[in-house]
Each structure stands twice: as structure tokens, then as C-alpha cells.
Chain A
Amino acid sequence: MDIYLPIAEVSVNAPLLVALGCVVGFISGLFGIGGGFLMAPVLVFMGVPPAVAVASQANHVVASSASSVIAYSRQKGVDYRMGGIMAAGGAAGAFLGVEIFRILRLLGQADLVVALSYLVFLGAIGALMLLESLQAIVRRRRGVVVAAAAERKRPWFYGLPWRMRFPRSGLYISVIPPIALGVFVGVLSAIMGVGGGFILVPAMVYVLRMRASVVVGTSLFQIIVTTAITTFLQAGRNQTVDIVLASLLLFGGVIGAQLGARVSGRFRADELRAVLALIVLLVGLQMGLQLFVRPQEAFAFAPGAGK
């Protein structure tokens, strides 16, 4: 059942795309990430031009995150105030990121920057998260009690100006760190075609020290806003959103996300984090290592030759 994608201008297997959407949606619902970092490499491997893959899957991320945010919202797992503030930063970041991506693509350096971003961000975050979650698992097994987050020393940036109360997250902090985090994730969202959950989730846990029960839902909420803006900008500015591709992916994605959000309660948080860390690390290495391997073909087509 091959289907011709009008914007990507290639023909791909439709059930395979739905299945891919479903698997990534499941992971997304389970870990509270968009799952874009998993999907982009697979789509490129299937022959979809990278620019179209990145832009169209952002739309898939919108759908699967929307689907699971509603599930989390029912369990009071979304801090809308925190999410909204981060999303404002995310919107600004997305504008910036789409422009950066446009210029990189025309310079022929988009591949390099995408691969490097994957290597650096996924590699570093995967490694750190893996280390931390393994330590947590070991501590739990040995029965060591760690001081609760609130009792630890408060980070310096809590005291920056414009402090605000976030009752659901259990925080009273400056709005500057969440906005800065939002901008950073927005830029990455446009360049890597990801929602940025793999950065948001650890940042919310370790940097902002939000209450664990609202981290996943809030991260998904912020991802929806950022990726919706990214999709809109990519479609309007670069015409790289393939609605047929996105629809197939999100058809599977929304179902997978529901299943993922459902089963996530059955696992321990530190074990989930360890698995996510491992996935993140492997994808980062896989994408990044291609920079060091001698390419089989020294030449490649660059996009943007124009009509």
C-alpha cells in the first residue's frame, strides 16, 4: 500500500508510516516527550527529504502531545501557568530557529548542524540522565533516603527578579529561568524537528526542581505550543510540511500516545528515566557518529536550487 506524498514527492508505504507513528506515540505518552528525535532519523532513512521530515513530524508531535496532555490534565498533572510561561519563550525560540534552519539549509550545512545537535544534546543529556537514574535505582534498592528537593540548597536563579508562585509545581521562583529554557527548546524544536521533551523533562526535574507528578504533563503542554508554532512557520516560510505524511503519522501517533500515557503509571519513575536515557544516548550517538565516517559518496545535492 504505497502512497505518494505530494510535498515530499516520494512514494512510501502507508501502513508502515502509521505503525511508526504509533510506536513513537507510545514512547511519547510513556515518557512525556514528543518523540521527534526518534522519528526524524527513521523518516530520512525511508527516503523523505530531511527538511520535509523535520517539518511534518513536528505536526505529528502536536497531535500525540495533545492527545496525552488531555490524559494528564485529568490527573491534575499539568501546571498550565509554568507551561504557558515556558511556551511564550518557546514561541520566540521557534521564530528564531526556523530562520536559522532556513539559512543553514541554503548554506548546505543543515545536515551538519542537525547531526551535531543530535550528538551533543542527546549524547550529553542521555549520559547524564542514565547516570542519575542508575544512581537513584541503586539508592532505592539499598534503602538509602535522600534529602527531599525542598530541603536542598535553593539554586541562585530562583531569586532573579519577577518571582511568581507556581502552586502545582510547588515553586516560588523567578520567571526568567523558565522563559530561557523555553527559548532554548524552541530553537532546538525548529532545527532538530523535535519537541524538546528530552531536554525539558530533565531540566524541569534537575534545574527547576518541579514536583515530579507535573513534569511530564507540563512538558507535553509546552511541546504542543512550540511544535504547533514550528509547524505553522515551517509551512508558511519553507513550504516543507507534508500534510499527507503528517496525517498518516499522527493517525498512529494519537493512539500510541493514549496507550503510553495509560501504562506509564505502572512503572517506577527512575526506571522509566533510565530506559529513556538509554534510548536518547543511542540515537544521539547513531546520528552523530556519521560525521566521523568517510562518506561513500563525496558529493550530494543541496536543496534550494529554486524553481
Chain B
Amino acid sequence: MTPVAAPPPVASAPVYRTPDQPTVYAALTQANVRVSTTFKGARIVLYGAVFNPDDNPADVVVVVRGPTQPVRLVRKVKVAGVWLNSRPVLFEGAPGYYMAASTRELGQIADFGTLRRLSIGVDHLKLEAPEEQQVVSRYGVPDVVVSRLAGDYLDWRNALIRLKQKAKLYDVDARGVSYVDRNHLFRAELLLPTDAPTGRYDVQVMLFKGGAKVSERDLTLRVKKVGFERSIYSFAHRSSWLYGLMSVAIAMLSGWVASRLFRRT
């Protein structure tokens, strides 16, 4: 990036008075992601500006949380030489998508307690887990609800995060936020894989100075299925029996059509 020798952009923005406090402004290039037939994942650019009255450096952290969902996990265990699945373990809630992007390593921006309190970074991600072990029955199947106090809680927690990271649903990027000019204008990118959950995503843009959060902007991103995709999905779920009947009819019909066509030729 070529450095631009221009006055701070915030000062030139007519809507805002020049603030006395360090302040962050941000916006998304796209507030709605539409999942259609050609959906191949999405790349959304977040851009923003920092007003920083003094010369002490400021850091920007962007945290995105997708809709919270329950998650079930199984663990492969070896029984009599064969690898089997254990009984499912249930996390009552985990973000369907999580991203933490920052200008530097999170550990250099704020201390452990601050990051934990604000739930920044996968190590500090809040997963809903009760204090005591319990068993819930879902559809007649007993699930062990993972307990925060159980001895292997960390194994399960790490596995959940690792699997989500592998699916590109969780991401931590210490260079994800980059300044475009000298510490004023910044940008970050959100990458949504094709299996990103639909729903409301909360985007927090935070400004850190001297290890403390000094300013924050909250944005919302919506991911929804549209058009043909949406019609099929809701048809399959709302009138599932009719949908099944239609699927079979299409199959039978195309089998018949093909055999007609081939008889002629």
C-alpha cells in the first residue's frame, strides 16, 4: 500500500464532530449475504477508521459471531480392534461461525483476563456448558451434556474448536486487520465457507489502547438463503411428505422419458 499523505479521514467526515476520545468507526461492504444456487462462500470486506488523538499506537480487533447452535460430538474409541463412535456428547451452544481478526497477536493487545472477559480468540470463546454432568434425551437417544467441570472437558472443547477450524468456520488471524494508511483507515476480510450457518451474525469492532478497550462499534450481518435455494429448503422442511412424493415422481418420469427417447433412436 502506498502511504497517502492526506489529513486524517475522520476529521474530514462532515457527519461526525472530531471526538475527544479515541474512537473507531466501521462498516461492512455487504450487510446481507444471499445464499443462492451459485453460492461458493462469501468474502465480505469490513472497513473502518480510527480516530486517535494522541500518538500512542492503537489496535483494532474484529470479532464475528454466527448464530449459536447446539453441537454434538462423538469420539472414536477402539473396541476389540474396531474403531467405534462413543456416545454423543452435547454442547448446549456454540457459535456457528467465529472469527477474531486483529492488527497484532491478541496476547500483545490485551491481557488474559480482558480477552477472557470479552471472549476474544478461540481460547476464550464462550461455549455453553453447565457446571454439572447431566444426560438429556433427544428423540429418545440419551446424550451426555458436556460439563465444564468434567476431567476431559478441555479435550472435547479443543476438539470442537479444531473441527470447526478445519471446516473454516472458526478462524483467528493476528494479521486479519490491516491499516491501509498510517494507522487511520483499516480493513478486514470475513470469509464465509459454503456451509456457514444462515442467520444473524454479530460483528464487534473494538479499539484497544494500552491493553484496554476504549471504543466499540457493533454491526450486523445477515446470511440467508434466497430464491430457488430458499424455496426448495423451506418446501423440503414444511411440506416434507409432498416434497418426497414430488422427488419420486420426478425420478419415475425421467426414467420413463429416457426410455422413450432411446427407443426412437
Contact = CB atoms under 8 A, between A and B. Distances in A.
Given A109-B85, A112-B85, A241-B236, A300 B74 contact: yes
A191 interface: no
A3 B236 contact: no
Interface stretch (B12-20, B172-180, B257-265): B257-265
A254 B257 contact: yes
Contacts of A264: none
Contacts of A246: 247, 250-251
Interface stretch (A140-148, A157-165, A231-239): A231-239
A295 to B, nearest CB: 5
A235 B247 contact: yes
A300 B73 CA distance: 6
B38 A67 contact: no
B81 A302 contact: no
Nearest to B155: A299
Contact of B247 (A243, A294, A297, A300): A243
Interface stretch (A55-63, A79-87, A89-97, A267-275): A55-63
A265 B35 CA distance: 47
Interface in A185-231: 224, 228, 231
A7 B36 CA distance: 12
Interface stretch (A36-44, A100-108, A124-132, A278-286): A100-108
Contacts of A69: 255
Given A70-B255, A305-B71, A247 B250 contact: yes
Given A4-B35, A305-B70, A107 B247 contact: no
A301 interface: yes
Contact of A228 (B139, B141, B251): B251
A274 B86 CA distance: 39
A258 B85 contact: no
A304 B138 contact: yes
A160 B68 CA distance: 59
Nearest to A254: B258
A103 B16 CA distance: 59
Contact of B256 (A66, A292, A298): A66
Contact of B194 (A11, A70, A112, A291): A11
Contacts, number: 205
Interface stretch (B21-29, B47-55, B237-245): B237-245
Given A3-B38, A4-B40, A301 B255 contact: no
B229 A6 contact: yes
B39 interface: yes
Interface in A111-143: 111-112
A303 B141 CA distance: 12
A53 interface: no
B254 A232 contact: no
Nearest to B197: A9
A67 B256 CA distance: 6
B236 A67 contact: no
A54 B198 CA distance: 24
A107 B141 contact: yes
A59 B233 contact: no
A255 B243 CA distance: 24
Interface string B40-82: 1100000000000000000000000000011111111010011
Given A292-B81, A294-B83, A300 B251 contact: no
Contacts of B229: 4, 6
Interface in B213-237: 225, 228-230, 232-233, 236-237
A210 to B, nearest CB: 23
A59 B251 contact: yes
A74 B263 CA distance: 10
Contact of B76 (A231, A232, A300): A300
Q: Which of B71, B141, B166 neighbours the largest number of chain A CB atoms within 10 Å of its CB?
A: B141
Interface in B131-157: 138-141, 156
A183 to B, nearest CB: 20
Contacts of B233: 6-7
Contact of B232 (A3, A74, A112, A243): A243
Given A70-B256, A300-B74, A112 B84 contact: yes
A306 B254 contact: no
Given A295-B76, A302-B74, 19 more contacts: A6-B229, A10-B195, A59-B251, A63-B251, A67-B259, A70-B259, A108-B88, A232-B245, A243-B232, A244-B37, A244-B232, A258-B258, A258-B259, A292-B82, A299-B163, A300-B73, A302-B73, A306-B138, A307-B69
7 contacts: A62-B252, A67-B254, A108-B87, A231-B244, A262-B262, A300-B74, A300-B85
3 nearest interchain CB pairs?
Answer: A66-B255, A235-B244, A254-B258
